Amino acid sequence: MLLIHCPYCQEERPETEFRHGGEAHIARPTNIADISDEEFEAYFFIRSNEKGVTFERWRHAHGCGRFFNAARHTVTDKFIKVYKAGEPKPTLAELGLESGESQ
Amino acid sequence: MSGAYRIAGKGRLTPARQARFSFDGKFYTGLEGDTVASALLAHGVHLMGRSFKYHRPRGPISAGSEEPNALINVARDATREQPNVRATVQEIFEGLKTNSQNRWPSLEYDIGAVNNLGAPFFSAGFYYKTFMWPKAAWKHVYEPFIRAAAGLGVAPKEADTDHYANRYAHCDVLIVGAGIAGLSAALAAAQTGASVIICDEQPEVGGALHYEAGTTVDGMPGFEWAQKTAQKLAAMDNVRLLTRTTAFGYYAQNFISLTERITDHQAMVEKSAPRERLWQVRAKRVILATGAIERHMVFDGNDRPGILLASAARTYLNHYGVAVGKKVGVYTAHDSAYEAAFDLKRAGVEIPAIVDTREKPGDAVMAEAAALGIKVLTGHAVIKTSGRLRVTSMTVGRSTKGTTTKYEIDALIMSAGWTPSVHLFSQSRGKLTWDADNARFVPGTHAQDCLAVGACNGTDGLANTVEEALGAGELMARAAGAAADAEKLSLNTETAFEWTGGMVGASEGAGPDTVAKAFIDFQNDVCAKDIRLAVREGMRSIEHIKRFTTNGMASDQGKLSNMHGLAIAAEALGKDIPEVGLTTFRAPYTPVTFGTIINHARGSLFDPTRKTPMHDQEAALGAVFEDVGQWKRAWFFPRAGEDMHAAVNRECKTVRETVGMFDASTLGKIEVVGPDAAKFLDLMYTNAWDSLKPGRAKYGIMLREDGFIYDDGVVGRLAEDRFHVTTTTGGAPRVLQHMEDYLQTEFPHLKVWLTSTSEQWATVAIQGPKAREVIAPIVDDQDISNEGLPFMSVVECKVLGGVPARLFRMTFAGELGYEINVPADFGPALWDALYERVEAAGGCAYGTETMHVLRAEKGYIIVGQDTDGTVTPYDAGLGWTVSKKKTDFVGIRGLKRPDLVAEGRKQLVGLKTRNPKVVLEEGAQIVADPNQAKPMTMIGHVTSSYWSEHLGSSIALAVVVDGHKRKGETLYIPMEKETIAVEVTDTVFVDKEGSRINV
Amino acid sequence: MRKFSAFAIAREAMRQHKGWEAQWTSPEPRKDYDVIIIGAGGHGLGTAYYLAKEHGITNVAVIEKGWLGGGNTGRNTTIIRSNYLYDESAGIYGHAHRLWDGLSQDLNYNVMYSERGVLMLAHNVHDVQSFKRHIHANRLNGIPNEWLTPEQAKEFCPPLNISKTSRYPIMGGALQRTGGTARHDAVAWGYARAANDRGVHIIQNCEVTGITRGPNGEVTGVETTKGHIGTKKIGVVAAGNTSVVMEMAGIRMPLTSYPLQALVSEPLKPVFPCVVMSNTVHAYISQSDKGELVIGAGTDQYPSYSQTGGLHIINHTLDAICELFPMFTRVKMMRSWGGIVDVTPDRSPILSKTPVPGLFVNCGWGTGGFKATPGSAHAFAHTIARDEPHKANAPFTLDRFRTGRLIDEAAAAAVAH
């Protein structure tokens, strides 16, 4: 069971309080009704599925209820950073990683 | 009394404290503190089990949890029978009953031992190569035969009457293992003020000090120091000391699982006492002090009862006061066996010879052997042994080719050196490194906040161990934030001998090109030659070798066998050991009962049960409940003599003719509030909400982004900025999650707040022609006439003389209907008041089954029954819910994808059977041509099907390819015994014009 | 290849088993191959075998970063069944099921295919409706599947608790009598040996690090830790690592990789005659030929390549097992482990050509790929050899996520085991 730091509650809580929310930083197109089939496929179905640092969403479902983002390494399962929804995607440098170190 | 092999004055048990127990029906007397193994050995009994494959007679090889051979069955009664218990771990108590396993008719004469004769044929992996002809014989002859031979112990037949417990714990430092390393670390950590948990699998602390005789710590005999230290630690507020507690799993972020065995050693068990307890510990820092496990020598006939690890023999002698034999041979490649020989010799046991593969054992041990008059044969090997149920001789020589000497013995002790217990370190995903000088893997790179100390870290020597452990204890406590002042600790230790030596792999006579039965994995009967066969057959990876030979896959999970298997494989492959690799260590360290893992989650605690506020009222009316998710919902209310069918028919008829009441409390409810609430719902539902006036309600359809129906429900607008949203029973949590997701991450600019109110409201639906007259008296000051509260409207009012309520005029039955929501605590009062009125009006309570029939008669869908995640609103005939004006809502783009707008989609229709008495089976498949061959082209299936008492005929809903164009067509439902003809109809069977509703 | 038989064993027993040859060899890679398969699991090795056997394409390499059969093939709970709902699924799983029967003889390797029956339990009205829908669809598709009452289920599986008072009483079950299990390692090894015998190169401990492309975007080979290897056709069969490999060709996949755990008990005398699955309470159990209870757990909720998962997942699974079989609380877990399963949005696999000429992909089997092994391999070999799908895999295209023609087994069953 992972320990997850909720950036709103400012506390580490057990994973069972949270719900994984899929890949982060996939914005819903504002003109969604007009996008092509390919664009819709890319938006709704295609996923990075990173082996390395992944950016993902969590919801503190049994806590504050808020969605937030996390950078986590999918091989070690270690959290590198959690940050509030709406904050920009951190660069690898901001995560303290060199490029190429993401794997 | 307690056995002829019990040596007076030896051991730490009290001779006066005796306990009688039985093994295979025979009674023995042992001492309190004995294990089954030590107590039986005290009586000269070594034969305790049979191996898995060849049914070879076996005795205990160890004195601990790594035991592969001496597995027994322990039973308190029929409901508390435990197979596969290690006799070396099970403590005896007065009245304990134990039995051997995997033998018939008896342990001494086991028919299964014929397998041993067939051993040349049953080579590793032989079953992959045969039993294939004739083909049918596999299923009918070979497979049943193989399956019948499976297993060791017998599974319990009855449900367990013991119970199990669970604790969560947090600490600064968790220390695994309470030998000298663990205890030292605990002392150092504890005095900094850190919260410390220290656990050990054994009944008392001490670890390796159990077998030591000459070691002193702080001037005390080592074992005594350990007990004193344990007392000191246990008395500290910041320390929790857990014995009989095995750390079995090391998970991410320093999450460690422990199993504490609480009652298995007790003669009298308190009813309230849990048998075992799971500890789920989150530790800031972890210190692994898990010690090392001695390896056996790999030589021909090394598995006979009476052949044991040297450290085990020493434990039996120095701790239990039991000599493993009267004439004990020694075979070793490591100094540790010398100390065992010395202790035995001093206790009066004859040692015919120490056979050492090394030319130059340590000087100190050689000198001591000489002083004690023990013959040492250096550069020699035990070539073979003899004895059927007990070892009777060893044959010794420089090699198999030269001259050999036979020694009569009744036991043989051995040591090939020590394997660090890196299991938990490896489970923590730490990387191991190869220590070539000592032929062992030791902890290398750490992956988590842990340190290994002592023997498990490859640290040799008592003084080094203590220094390392004290340092680690303080370091880890400080790292966890402990700040109290503490003096630098040090401990004086003295030990008789520093050990050297060790080997991995086969010894003389069991090398390449030999046919010796030199066992590596005792339980699974894997010999050195099996490893070589695997290599010969092309297995290069240690994982392949393991799986092909089953080496390391027995219930000890390779604690004794892995290193030998690896070394023999490396030799056969001509590679270095680290190149061949090591199989992965996985939880659990030792087997753990399912009971411990699940602990409280049994019976009613298996999963929470959700009941509505009116559950007891419904139960009192005789309701039969059905499970819907975690909810218990009243399914139907049978009266005397009624079966389900009769009850449902009556309920349906009553609702259509008079009135019925239904507990709708399980429906999900979400309060959507805020200036942008309507805008938000516009995005979440296909419908348009802006135009809905306060006081009105509307049926809404919610899609996923892919365009398929996700949920539905009636939404009432209470005010400009406030909506009462209802969801399906099962959909409540996911709909809220779905809404929160969009609100927080896609539409955060909208000023809307969402609150789940599912359990805040109790809801009763009143449906039927007399609904208005039933509710009129209980509604305070609210016009409920058709004009005052028209169909699809909602009002906040009071009921029952002042209880706040939300009153909906709506129906899921196609009748004049209301749904009354009151605060949950008022649910029972509302139910009672309504029930009295309903009954007086000739009505009844109805359950979910009747609700389903009534809604199907009206063609109302159930999401998840008439839809399955591939149905669009258009497919379901609900295209009218999709607003044409909106430029955005969730699902708007998904709905336009090529396949969703293509011809040939399955669409919801009604079905009428040609014979109206025939009720279709839900899930039955529909074809256009009933005479085609299989596989048939299926064009749809029945989603809902009921007997309609109101119509006097069956009705059904179905999804059918191009269904909307097929009205009037005859289709077919091929059942097992007959084909049923059906006519495609509209989905509405009752009151198409809605005249029953709008009154 | 020297044939395996009882006679061969007897012959070898006489000479201390000295005469066995390697079941597969460990060759150095050639400069190029007609086809390269990435991933030496059951599906990949099987693909190579059928390429050689059915299509005469023997200049094939199977490249594996670890050891063959070391991924999900060697980590699953070996359940075999074909009673899936949709015609498309019935097509591919039925194709596999027909190949299972006789696979041992075909490969001359006993894969211990055991038709012991797979019983799926219904715990509520919704389950009953869903299973009956399956049974009717299966019957018309010619796939065996039958309904059992609770009493019949108990008769078929005596340890089953059918008490009306349990938390989720059993309302019946769907039984596929021809369903069962097989020995997972033997499937990988049998295909490896038979493929090797037909000239296929199996190259282990060789990681693919890149996919090289020609001027028209077509594949020209792979970069590996053993150097560049040329080819015109690549079949990616990399399960949990598919996204990583496909990214090398610039293709982003509709996949997410999750940890999936399983466990075995200590060996017990025969106590459990069949396979039982309950999607509602999440329990999947059978007993191995060694006597271990083999129990499948669910996936963790987050994507991971760690091959480990949380204890609470195991915990939840054992809760369900002991609810169905209350006598098993004293049975002990002996070993647990994890795999990485690649899951598609509709829980159905992808066996398909891709937009890159010469690149083919077989993935997305989620938690249930083992049962499909022979069918998947056979159809995928056909797809690669003929450059067009076999009818069994034709619906399982990569572009169905664009068109919306999903095969949503997830909608029909909570878990597509």
- Residue B337 above 80 pLDDT? yes
Q: How high is the mean pLDDT of chain B? A: 96
Q: Does residue B278 sit in the same domain as residue B306?
A: no
What is the reported pLDDT for B202? 98
- What is the ipTM for the molecules in this complex? 0.96
The CA distance from C202 to B164, in Å, is 49
Containing domain of residue A22, as a range?
3-27+36-97
Segment B12-41 shows an average pLDDT of 97
* SS3 call for B43: coil
Q: Is B505 among the domain residues?
A: no
Residue B665 CB neighbours (<10 A): 27
Chain A neighbours, 3+ Cβ pairs < 8 A: B, C
- Residue B944 above 70 pLDDT? yes
What CATH code is carried by the domain that includes residue B246? 3.50.50.60
Containing domain of residue B337, as a range?
296-412
On chain C, the residues whose CB falls within 8 A of the CB of B428 are none
Confidence of residue B214 (pLDDT cuts 50, 70, 90): confident
Contact B476, B285 (CB under 8 A): yes
Q: Is B948 among the domain residues?
A: yes
What is the reported pLDDT for B118? 84
Q: Look up the pTM and report it.
A: 0.96
CA angle B204, B47, C328 (to 5 degrees): 65
Q: Is A103 among the domain residues?
A: no
Residue B796 CB neighbours (<10 A): 16
Confidence of residue B117 (pLDDT cuts 50, 70, 90): confident
Sole residue written with tokens 């034969």: B47
Q: In terms of pLDDT, which residue wins out, B690 or B174? A: B174
What is the reported pLDDT for A99? 59
Q: Is A51 among the domain residues?
A: yes
On chain C, the residues whose CB falls within 8 A of the CB of B99 are none
The CA distance from B244 to B225, in Å, is 19
Q: Is B332 among the domain residues?
A: yes
Q: Does residue A6 belong to the interface with chain C, where contact is any CB pair within 8 Å?
A: no
Q: Which residues contact B237 (CB under 8 A, 6 or more apart)?
A: none
**Rg of chain A in Å (alpha carbons):** 15
Q: Does residue A28 belong to the interface with chain B, where contact is any CB pair within 8 Å?
A: yes
What is the reported pLDDT for B120? 86
Strand partners of residue B407: B394
- From B537, B592, B897, residue closest to C404, measured CB to CB: B897
CA torsion C72→C74→C75→C76, rounded to 10°? 80
Q: Among residues B129, B132, B131, B125, which one has the least CA distance to residue B539?
A: B125
Yes or no, beta carbons of A40 and B894 under 8 Å apart:
yes
Q: How far is CA B907 from the centre of its chain?
A: 42
List pLDDT tens digits, range B867-881. 988 899 999 999 999
Q: Does residue B129 sit in the same domain as residue B1?
A: yes
- Residue B948 above 90 pLDDT? yes
Q: Does residue B109 sit in the same domain as residue B135?
A: yes
- From A20, A40, A44, residue closest to C301, measured CB to CB: A20
Tally of domains within chain A = 1
- Residue A56 above 70 pLDDT? yes
Q: Does residue B647 sit in the same domain as residue B787?
A: yes
How far off is chain C from B559, nearest CA to CA, in Å? Answer: 13
Contact C289, B146 (CB under 8 A): yes
Q: Is B689 among the domain residues?
A: yes
The b/e string for B328-353 (b: 16+ C-beta within 10 A; e otherwise) is bbbbbbbbbbbbbbbbbbebebebbb
* Residue of A26, A45, A49 to mutate, testing the C interface (most C Cβ within 10 Å of its Cβ): A49
* SS3 call for B600: coil
The CA distance from B86 to B152, in Å, is 12
What CATH code is carried by the domain that includes residue A56? 3.30.2270.10
What is the reported pLDDT for B986? 96
Q: Does residue B343 sit in the same domain as residue B198?
A: no
Q: Does residue B474 sit in the same domain as residue B526?
A: no
User: What is the sign of the dihedral through the CA atoms of B600, B606, B608 and B609?
Assistant: negative
* Residue of C305, C319, C363 to mutate, testing the A interface (most A Cβ within 10 Å of its Cβ): C305
Q: Name the DSSP letter for residue B685.
A: B
Q: How far is CA C283 from the centre of its chain?
A: 18
Tally of domains within chain B = 7
| Domain end call among B137, B157, B177 | B157
| Domain end call among B383, B412, B441 | B412
Q: Does residue B714 sit in the same domain as residue B832?
A: no
Segment B657-678 shows an average pLDDT of 98
* SS3 call for B457: helix
Q: Among residues C332, A91, A64, C19, which one has the least CA distance to residue B598?
A: C332
List pLDDT tens digits, range B520-566. 999 999 999 999 999 999 999 999 999 999 999 999 999 999 999 99
Q: Is B408 among the domain residues?
A: yes
Q: Is B502 among the domain residues?
A: no
Q: Is B577 among the domain residues?
A: yes
* SS3 call for B585: coil
List pLDDT tens digits, range B683-721. 999 999 999 999 999 999 999 999 999 999 999 999 999
- Residue B125 above 60 pLDDT? yes
Sole residue written with tokens 């079905």: B911
- Residue C411 above 80 pLDDT? no
What is the reported pLDDT for B603? 87
On chain C, the residues whose CB falls within 8 A of the CB of A56 are 302-303
Segment B419-447 shows an average pLDDT of 96
Q: Does residue A64 belong to the interface with chain B, where contact is any CB pair within 8 Å?
A: no
Q: Does residue B643 belong to the interface with chain C, where contact is any CB pair within 8 Å?
A: no
Confidence of residue B116 (pLDDT cuts 50, 70, 90): confident
Yes or no, beta carbons of C302 and A2 under 8 Å apart:
yes
Q: Does residue B466 sit in the same domain as residue B484?
A: yes
The letter for the amino acid at B559 is K
Q: Does residue B898 sit in the same domain as residue B909?
A: no
What is the reported pLDDT for B604? 87
- Residue C344 above 70 pLDDT? yes
Yes or no, beta carbons of A47 and C255 under 8 Å apart:
yes
What is the reported pLDDT for C415? 33
Q: Is B752 among the domain residues?
A: no
- Both structure tokens of B458: 């490859």
Yes or no, beta carbons of A76 and B744 under 8 Å apart:
no
What CATH code is carried by the domain that includes residue B831? 3.30.1360.120
List pLDDT tens digits, range C275-330. 999 988 888 999 999 999 999 998 999 999 998 999 999 999 999 999 999 999 99
On chain C, the residues whose CB falls within 8 A of the CB of B533 are 17, 20
Please report, in angstroms and rounded to a whole number, the separation of the first and last CA atoms in chain B.
Answer: 94
Q: Does residue B810 sit in the same domain as residue B855?
A: yes
CA angle B882, B888, B893 (to 5 degrees): 80
Yes or no, beta carbons of B741 and A37 under 8 Å apart:
no
Task: Report percent pLDDT > 90 for chain B.
Answer: 93
* SS3 call for B572: helix
Q: Does residue B138 sit in the same domain as residue B23?
A: yes
| Domain end call among B132, B157, B182 | B157
List pLDDT tens digits, range B913-936. 999 999 999 999 999 999 999 999
Yes or no, beta carbons of B894 and A44 under 8 Å apart:
yes
The side-by-side arrangement of strands in the sheet containing B817-823 is B779-780, B793-799, B803-809, B817-823, B761-767, B660-663, B844-845
The CA distance from C92 to C94, in Å, is 5
Q: Name the DSSP letter for residue B654.
A: H
Q: How far is CA C121 from the centre of its chain?
A: 22
What is the reported pLDDT for A102? 55
How far off is chain C from A93, nearest CA to CA, in Å? Answer: 22
* SS3 call for C282: coil
- The secondary structure element, H or E, covering residue B259 is strand B255-261
Q: Does residue B704 belong to the interface with chain C, where contact is any CB pair within 8 Å?
A: no
* SS3 call for B72: strand
What CATH code is carried by the domain that includes residue B535? 1.10.10.1100
- In C, minimum Cα distance to B152 occurs at C268
CA angle B72, B78, B80 (to 5 degrees): 65
- Residue A97 above 90 pLDDT? no
What is the reported pLDDT for B801? 95
Q: Does residue B774 sit in the same domain as residue B808?
A: yes
- From C241, C256, C312, residue closest to A16, measured CB to CB: C312
Q: Is A102 among the domain residues?
A: no
Yes or no, beta carbons of A2 and C305 under 8 Å apart:
no
Confidence of residue B291 (pLDDT cuts 50, 70, 90): very high
- In B, minimum Cα distance to C327 occurs at B159
Strand partners of residue B169: B281
